[in-house]
Structure 1
Amino acid sequence: MKEGLRLDYEIGPEIGRGRFGTVYRCSSLASGEEFAVKSVDKALLSDPLDRDLALREAKVHQLAAAGNPHAVQIHATYEDADSLHLVLDLCPGPDLFVRVSDRAPLPERDAAAVMLPLMEAIATCHRRGIAHRDVKLENVLFDGRGELKLADFGSAECFDDERRWAMTGLVGTPFYVAPEVVAGREYGEKVDVWSCGVILYMMLGGMAPFYGESAVEILEAVLRGNLRFPPRIFRGVSPAAKDLIRKMLCKDVSRRLSADQVLSN
């Protein structure tokens, strides 16, 4: 990592905040181009494991995003006495959660316009041996030109042919997490396809496919996997779209589509 973030960028207002870091708008002093910078406070990384995770996130993110047009890019990394800094694509548009909350249910053509670049981003990650593991509406962003950008690789995990089905840990967000994750079994990259299936269902139906009043109830509903399409809500959705959702939200992982298969459907 380089030193001297402020020698290269002018730091603007805060635009977001997370567990360890704060995101600011910034601009290149050389070109004037605008970016976002995620600054991680080292004081919050007192646990060596947390520091390792923060450094690992940057490395995995760079691997996943390089040449991947629908993933948030890392343009530079810096480290100083107080913080780690990642200079990222600026995505000022409302995220997909806001768009779905404001407009759902979406017409199928609008949902397809989101799913195509999202699945291209996921498929690229999977070809590179990376599972995102926290795909959700809030992590689907849009840049100043309206281009979709997959964000937040803090939960991402690398795998290879030997470890393809050996990821573990309850990682992700209850509404979107796959049943094999909830069950505590080893799992593979198709957990991301399940999460994308949830997103497609929410875009077309305006509601989550598996619901509960608490995180525990949501996870229990995910484990049951009782997928329904209430006629009052889904009467205008085509049989093809519902069939695709069924194939993405298939509890049998061997029958669940891969990201590449979703793209070819």
Structure 2
Amino acid sequence: MQLKKKLCAALLPALLTLAATTAEARDWNTIKADGKIIAVTEGAFFPFNFFEGSKLTGFEVEVAEAVAKKLGLAIEWRVVPFDAQVASIRQDRFDFAIASHGFTEERAKSVDFAAPHYCTGGQIAAPKDGALTAAALAGKTVAVQLATSYADSAKRIAGVKEIKTYKADPEAFSALKAKKVDAWISDKWLIKATLEKNADAGIVAGEQVFVERVSAIMRKNNKELQDNYNRALAEVVKDGTYATLSQKYFKTDVSCR
């Protein structure tokens, strides 16, 4: 969801991205000795990772910070566009990324996935009298965010006339409001939050078209980091922190039950 930012907040993601060029993915012993872990997110995917003024926050940001605390580490954030994150991890620029990466076989060829930190699915959003089911999308134009699993899944819906890709979901939602497309497919929790904040837009949620397990991603074969991350995430779930954050952002349990 697009947030209005002050100039300094708008510049911050770019500055963080530039600063990230010196970072490298490291093995667990190196990270532990350094005392901090370097994480990347998108900063434009409300309510998962976004800016409130100049502050980076959101469900995934707070989950990652809780994981780092369990590991006894400080966390240092970087912001990179979603469609560049898998390549950034492959290039060893960060220790891990947490930005709503759904597991796919194709992504798993390039990066390793941690244990999932939430489950979701691709959902249709459209005008109240519009194409709100997969069957109703026949002959229609659908908006999706570039390089996402939602884009890949939308292409598999029979009869869709055209898939239009946008750099970020706020742009896809704007295209739907402007009637440039017939429907929008994205994460069901993002759609829920977007529609709650835009109740007068005349857009409603429709059918969920697929299920997805979402995880942090990290360099392939960095097993000690992966194991320690998973252990800490399990502790965050066990001590109730996860449930508190889930209720804070979604008023429901978004875990993979």
The two structures have a TM-score, normalised by structure 1, of 0.26
More strand by share: 2
The two structures have a TM-score, normalised by structure 2, of 0.26
Question: Which of these two proteins has the greater Rg computed from alpha carbons?
Answer: 1
